[in-house]
Structure 1
Amino acid sequence: MSRSSTPVTPVQSVAGATPVPSVTEATPVAPNTTSAPRRVPVLWLALLATPIAAGANAPVLILPDMAASLGVPTASAAGLLTAFGWAMAVATPLLAGLLRRRGLSAVLRVATVLVLVGTALVAASPWLPLTLVGRCSQAAGGAGLVAAAISLAGTARRMGVVSAGFGMLGAVGPLLGRTLADSVSWRLALAVSALALLAVPAVARHAGPGTPPAPGRFDSRGAALLTVLVTALVLLATAPLAALGAALVAAALLTLHVRRAPDGFVPVALLRSPVFLTSALLALVLSASYFTLLFAVPRLLVERAGWDTASAGTGQLLALLCGSALSWPFAAASGRMGRAGARTVLLAVGTLAALTGILADSGPLLLAATAAGVFTASAANAVLSTHAVASAPDAGRRPAAIGLFTLCYQLGGAFGPTVAALLVLGS
């Protein structure tokens, strides 16, 4: 998961919110890629990954406070949200690449440093540019922690816990941020994601030592081209012509590079896998649909159903919590459904949610659409990511599958608000 403190402001999960991996419940398809498989207790994984969702959304209702403190307009302070989402999207495949090349311990160390440095900057910075750097550092570190959690989860049931927690903490993030800002400071609200570091020692201890780095050199050119492509896609809403041109050039260059380096930063084996492509593209679509509803429904509740902003905000929060919670039992049962069955349910419910959001005038129906949207997005994160990871031809490419799948999910979070503005809010 657009940003103000007075109208009902939808909750945006980290450019989103959060990814998660399915073959059968008993078969770990995304084991710890850096050591002999050991089960890390799932609550530690949830603590490692989910605070980033609350930290991402904490500024939503306190932008005026932050702007006044930093001496800038509220619109300028909103750049803190955009920067966080961009850094999360860009850093996810990069930190997943580090996981592949240097192992879990390296990712945990780098992510910890990034989160600590970012939190320190946010806590002390008197200027917006330095605060932006801090937020980007927090997001990049959070991306590494999320990648580590996904690599260690292993089953859809366990990833369902992480994904449901992501949705629920993302939903309460704005209210938590408002509460902390009122009682202490907006700077404390922006430090919420640092709570994830409490899980790092336990995760490292349970996961065990890592294996030697993967052979071969790091594909810096592929990483750079993918970063440019992602950046251009994120900027489509603000500078459409320039961003589209940059995206087309970067995509063409990346395509040529992948042909020359088939086992590089973007492995060609994943791009040729129907299972991976189907999972990643469906996750992108469901994520974009959810974020469209997230940004559109509060206004629709006011304009179509005649609700006041307070009632609309409360109703949306409850819908988000319920939908997120329901995603876990679905993820737990997905192994019995099979890939086709799980995808069919997700696509059907996601389509119904989108149509309801477009056509409904009733407040309860609009909230039901929101709940269904977050349900499909969170469940897709949990279920489809396991499909994507299982499609990797060997353990060495699983971190790349994690990074690229998560990137697709987060791009859906970046596109959703734009779709809402163009197709719903502008109508």
Structure 2
Amino acid sequence: MSTLVGLLFGLAGMGSSSAAIALPVLARDLDVSTGVSAWAISLYALMLAVATAVYGRVSDLVGIRLPLLVGVGLMTTGALVGALAPSFGVLLAARIFQGAGAAAVPTLGVAIISSRFHGTDRSSALGRVAGVAAAVSCLGPLAGGSVEGLLGWRVVIALPMLGVQLLPVLWRSLPTDGSGARLDLLGAVLVAGTAAGVVLLVQSPSTGPLVAAVGAGLIVLGTPAVAFWVRRRPHGFLPMSVIRNPAVVRSALAAAAVPAAWFALLIAVPAVLVGQGWQPWLVGVALLPSAVTGLLAPRVAGPLLSRVGPAPSLALAAVIAAVALGVAALGATLTSAVLLVVAVVAVTLAFGLGQPALMAAVGDAVEDDVRGVALGIATLFFLVGGGVGSAVVGGLSGPLTMPGALLLLAGLPVLGLLALAANLRREPGPDLAD
């Protein structure tokens, strides 16, 4: 079960990692600049982030089976339309739908594991999910480079369609029970819009002041609107019991730095190496050690969670992510393939540790009736971090240079450690009785 969920998660992540390799060819074919083509990654990551909490809440209401079917269906349709897109505008629209569908996988996948496993078994299962997902996602550059060379970039965009084949295998194991309560749609829209504003504002240097104004406006209007709506609807889309839970908030803020580093390097490293004349398939081969790391990460993540608990595991992931970004910045400065590959290996390990640690921290901190939405909100923070990472590389690598953008991102894990400090002081030891 955990391996299948990890494969589905990995195919959703491959929507970014494989497409990143094809960006230069895609940009040439559709007559846009490489900087503008990066929106094909950023918009996918943005929708992957903002739609996660929606699926989490819907799963609380109607069970997991129906929302997962809808999500995988959207991901498949978006991938197909993107592969057939006659223009860059159509491609971006398809990527939005593809990301909105793929967003079902992280939250609902973790909800499946949380409903079937408990205690140390849950930690081990979450570790396997993250490890398989990271390995499949990190195979994206190799798959994307190889497929692009043989069949073109359009087939690369279509690769996530493979996920639909896993649904029949998982179908009977998917919970169908929910509370039947109504979805707070306005709350979902307010949260999604505010999160979108963050990514748009960061990405705006590559596209001009209009996008910056839209992003800033969404943040300025959305932040107080979300606060007002939460006070008015304490049991709505953002339950007060979840967002006032310090363990959930601190863990989510700290964990967000890890996908920021991961998404950033999945774009930055191929961009630097292809810019030095590497063929896309060679970049994929060079990144194979990171896929191996993704497979081995569960052997570390599960025992680490059982031994030291979620907060120290998150702290270790943040430290590794910061070091990886520093190494990548040096590698980009020296155009050293070795340093760049080492950085991706390190950040893959950080992802393999951080994602299950976040899910374990949140799952243990909330009651069963809001676990789905709590996991969705945590995943929202987690993947908004990914959107910010890709936006920084796409938007700021021009004015700051690629090494400068990566060094700027290295500050996020430090801020994450500061947010996590209280959890590190207060977290009890693991409950071995489970």
What TM-score comes out, normalization by structure 2 length? 0.77
Deviation at residue 179 of structure 1 after TM alignment: 2.0
Matched position secondary structure for 1:191 = helix
Q: Indicate whether 1:259 and 2:222 are aligned.
A: no
Confirm or deny: 8 A CA contact 2:314 2:353 kept in the other structure. no
Q: Which residue pairs with 2:41 in the alignment?
A: 81
Amino acid at match of 2:43: A
**Structure 1: how far apart are the matches of 2:34 and 2:311?**
46
Deviations 1:234-262 (A, max 9, x none): 10121445423421220111011111111
Q: Which runs of 5+ in 2 are unaligned?
A: 115-121, 205-210, 405-434
Residues 129, 302 of structure 1: CA spacing in aligned structure 2 closer, same or farther, 3 A cutoff? closer
Deviations 1:43-63 (A, max 9, x none): 222232221122322222323
Amino acid at match of 2:387: A
Return the structure number with greater helix share: 2
Matches within 5 A, 1:290-369: 290-292=262-264, 313=283, 317-333=287-303, 334-357=305-328, 364=338, 367-369=341-343
Confirm or deny: 8 A CA contact 1:296 1:425 kept in the other structure. yes
**Structure 2: how far apart are the matches of 1:324 and 1:359?**
23
Matched position secondary structure for 1:82 = helix
Amino acid at match of 1:325: L
Of stretches 104-113 and 62-71 in structure 1, the one that deviates more from structure 2 is 62-71
Q: Which residue pairs with 1:47 in the alignment?
A: 7
Of stretches 169-178 and 190-199 in structure 1, the one that deviates more from structure 2 is 169-178
**Structure 1: how far apart are the matches of 2:21 and 2:165?**
26
Amino acid at match of 1:381: Q
Deviation at residue 298 of structure 1 after TM alignment: 6.8
**Structure 1: how far apart are the matches of 2:216 and 2:246?**
27
Q: Which residue pairs with 1:3 in the alignment?
A: none
Confirm or deny: 8 A CA contact 2:52 2:103 kept in the other structure. yes
Q: Which residue pairs with 1:284 in the alignment?
A: 256
**Structure 2: how far apart are the matches of 1:179 and 1:347?**
32
Q: Which residue pairs with 2:198 in the alignment?
A: 233
1:370 to 327, 332, 344: 344
Q: Which residue pairs with 1:124 in the alignment?
A: 84
Residues 330, 223 of structure 1: CA spacing in aligned structure 2 closer, same or farther, 3 A cutoff? same
What TM-score comes out, normalization by structure 1 length? 0.78
Select the structure with the greater relative contact order (CA < 8 A; seq sep ≥ 6). Answer: 1
Of stretches 285-294 and 183-192 in structure 1, the one that deviates more from structure 2 is 285-294
1:403 to 376, 379, 383: 376
**Structure 2: how far apart are the matches of 1:344 and 1:116?**
36
Sequence identity percentage: 25
Confirm or deny: 8 A CA contact 1:125 1:131 kept in the other structure. yes
Confirm or deny: 8 A CA contact 2:362 2:374 kept in the other structure. yes
Of stretches 287-296 and 120-129 in structure 1, the one that deviates more from structure 2 is 287-296
Deviation at residue 336 of structure 1 after TM alignment: 2.1
Q: Indicate whether 1:181 and 2:153 are aligned.
A: no
Deviation at residue 387 of structure 1 after TM alignment: 1.0
Deviation at residue 309 of structure 1 after TM alignment: 5.0
Matched position secondary structure for 2:309 = helix
Confirm or deny: 8 A CA contact 1:157 1:331 kept in the other structure. yes
Of stretches 245-254 and 369-378 in structure 1, the one that deviates more from structure 2 is 369-378
**Structure 2: how far apart are the matches of 1:70 and 1:313?**
23
**Structure 2: how far apart are the matches of 1:357 and 1:119?**
30
Q: Which residue pairs with 2:137 in the alignment?
A: 170
Q: Which residue pairs with 2:188 in the alignment?
A: 223
**Structure 1: how far apart are the matches of 2:274 and 2:5?**
38
Q: Indicate whether 1:382 and 2:356 are aligned.
A: yes
Residues 192, 147 of structure 1: CA spacing in aligned structure 2 closer, same or farther, 3 A cutoff? same
1:97 to 51, 57, 77: 57
Confirm or deny: 8 A CA contact 1:91 1:143 kept in the other structure. yes
**Structure 1: how far apart are the matches of 2:244 and 2:39?**
37
Deviations 1:266-299 (A, max 9, x none): 1111111121112101111233244455555678
Q: Indicate whether 1:145 and 2:105 are aligned.
A: yes
Residues 235, 329 of structure 1: CA spacing in aligned structure 2 closer, same or farther, 3 A cutoff? same
Confirm or deny: 8 A CA contact 1:50 1:196 kept in the other structure. no
**Structure 2: how far apart are the matches of 1:151 and 1:124?**
33
Residues 227, 343 of structure 1: CA spacing in aligned structure 2 closer, same or farther, 3 A cutoff? closer
**Structure 1: how far apart are the matches of 2:152 and 2:268?**
30
Amino acid at match of 1:178: G
Residues 292, 78 of structure 1: CA spacing in aligned structure 2 closer, same or farther, 3 A cutoff? closer
Deviations 1:40-98 (A, max 9, x none): x2222223222112232222232344345545555554432222122212221122222
Of stretches 346-355 and 180-189 in structure 1, the one that deviates more from structure 2 is 346-355
Matched position secondary structure for 2:182 = coil
Residues 296, 67 of structure 1: CA spacing in aligned structure 2 closer, same or farther, 3 A cutoff? closer
2:218 to 246, 252, 257: 246
Residues 365, 85 of structure 1: CA spacing in aligned structure 2 closer, same or farther, 3 A cutoff? closer
How many pairs align?
Answer: 381
Q: Which runs of 5+ in 1 are unaligned?
A: 1-40
Deviation at residue 230 of structure 1 after TM alignment: 1.3
Residues 131, 273 of structure 1: CA spacing in aligned structure 2 closer, same or farther, 3 A cutoff? same
Of stretches 264-273 and 171-180 in structure 1, the one that deviates more from structure 2 is 171-180
